[in-house]
Amino acid sequence: GLGLGTTITFASSHWLLAWMGLEMNTLAIIPIMAHLHHPRAVEATTKYFLTQATAAAMLLFASTTNAWLTGQWDIQQMTHPLPVTMITLALALKIGLAPVHSWLPEVLQGLDLTTGLILSTWQKLAPFALLLQIYPANSALLIILGLLSTLVGGWGGLNQTQLRKILAYSSIAHLGWMILILQFSPSLTLLALFTYLIMTFSTFLVF
């Protein structure tokens, strides 16, 4: 289910199909997150589900608005600034960029390390692929999101004593750098993403 959801989003050029892939992704990871039947795991799963459902609803609303305003459902035909802004914010909420990041440390803290690894790596790929496709030139919003994420990720991790929360803030900071450089050099962003994936896999598997 996880693989299929991400693959559908990767392969889609239509917003509805991309939304469907993201929803499959969310629904597929929920049983994995809740399988421990521990109160903290269930709490983390509930928080994650509510956050992702909000982001998906926002994404669907933004893509419908885009179709209404421009008559286009194509992902790469995003011309109107209003749906572009809404979709960027929805995807930021999905991957946990500041200032809509506060769910990520809380959710990660309630999970075991293997599920946390999936959440920190695989679950970020589909929204990131969509951000890569719609990035507008000279978008102040992406720069603000990126800068805020690097600052929040750096500062948030300083005062932590819990391993998973430190990893969550590290993830926020890394994604901030990627989003910051996204519109200037997408290939550099992909290199950073690839490096982040290798480092995150190593860190989680060591623990």
Enter the DSSP assignment of 135.
P
What pLDDT score was predicted for residue 138?
64
CA–CA separation, 169 and 195 (whole Å): 17
Burial string for 19-49 (b: 16+ CB within 10 Å, else e) reads bbbbbbbbebbeebbbebeeeebeebbebbb
CA–CA separation, 7 and 25 (whole Å): 10
pTM across the whole model: 0.93
What pLDDT score was predicted for residue 104?
95
Range of the domain at 163: 1-206
What pLDDT score was predicted for residue 137?
65
Task: Give the whole-number percent of the chain exceeding pLDDT 90.
Answer: 86
Give the pLDDT means over successive 10-residue stretches in the chain (207 positions). Answer: 94 93 95 90 95 96 94 87 93 93 94 93 94 81 94 92 93 95 92 95 92
What pLDDT score was predicted for residue 36?
83
Q: How many domains does the chain have?
A: 1
